[in-house]
Amino acid sequence: MKKILAMVLFMGVVVLSACSEETTLYDEITEEGVLTVATSGTLIAASYYNDQDELTGFDVEVAREVGRRLGVDVKFEIMSVDGMLPAVDTGRVDLAANDFSATKNRKETFTFSEPYKYSYSTMVVRKSDYSGVRSLEDLAGKINGGGETTISSEIARHFGAEVRTYGNASNEAYLRDVSIGRTDVVVNDYYLIKFGVAAFPDFDIMMHPDLKFHPTEQALVMKKGETALEEAVNEALQAMRDDGTLSDIAIEFYGEDASEQTEADVEIIEGLDI
């Protein structure tokens, strides 16, 4: 009986030891020396290719700096925004960095880092007629260009707009469609709209001068439950904030410090379930 009890206790110790040594995603990243990050490469100022055909942008450079501080290389996987969260969930990539807003519903399925950007939503409209949109309620019946699963598209639908979806299309495709009347608006982040509109001065488009709504916090997206990776990423981001690197990257790409809370007077949308 004593031998049986001893064997049971020994097996329990072995099982507990194996559980305590279970490899985490962060262990795999540090062992391989590579952090894999999903991004679009089509989002001006956030994730795009410059004139030298190099991938850059605010989110791209934040992810690169996080990787550097973790002591690993960063490998970017280019894909559509609608494919990024599934890629994180299945383990195809370790992080997603593409101006993702940390929302209540998303946090139920994914882990988000601490915010590294604060902003709000507005929209692209035609300069000639505001696309017929003077208030959010005027979105009813309009056509919004956007990704199927984005928060911006959810806002447009909330007010009765139809959403015309694109693949991993460039800013130019979205904005030209508004200019020529194929769509009416593009609801999106203030900073992204500001630089997207500025890149195409010949288009009949502008950032809506009056509508500011839905304050946002952008963060890196990770698989749920990867606590070690979450802690390491947050430590890197905090160090970047403390030494001014995060502010420097924001100012480089946005012309202002998007890493700090916005002081704009932003409308809260009631009843928006995101």
pLDDT in tens, 236-270: 999 999 999 999 999 999 999 999 998 889 999 99
Stretch (H or E) spanning 240: helix 227-242
Task: Give me the percent of the chain exceeding a pLDDT of 90.
Answer: 83
Same-domain check for residues 224 and 103? yes
What local confidence, expressed as pLDDT, does residue 185 receive?
A: 98
Same-domain check for residues 48 and 66? yes
* Boundaries of domain holding 234: 10-116+219-254
Same-domain check for residues 90 and 128? no
Span 27-47, average pLDDT:
96
Q: How confident is the model at residue 169 (pLDDT cuts 50, 70, 90)?
A: confident
Assess if residue 271 is contained within a domain. no
Same-domain check for residues 144 and 196? yes
Q: How confident is the model at residue 21 (pLDDT cuts 50, 70, 90)?
A: low
Same-domain check for residues 131 and 160? yes
> Which value, in Å, is the radius of gyration of the alpha carbons in the chain?
22
Assess if residue 67 is contained within a domain. yes
Same-domain check for residues 157 and 144? yes
- Give strand ranges (E) for 28-104: 34-39, 42-43, 47-49, 55-56, 73-78, 95-96
**Into how many domains does the chain fold?**
2
Same-domain check for residues 210 and 233? no
Assess if residue 273 is contained within a domain. no
* CATH at residue 28: 3.40.190.10
Tokens representing residue 129 in the block: 């007629």
Assess if residue 266 is contained within a domain. no
Same-domain check for residues 40 and 112? yes
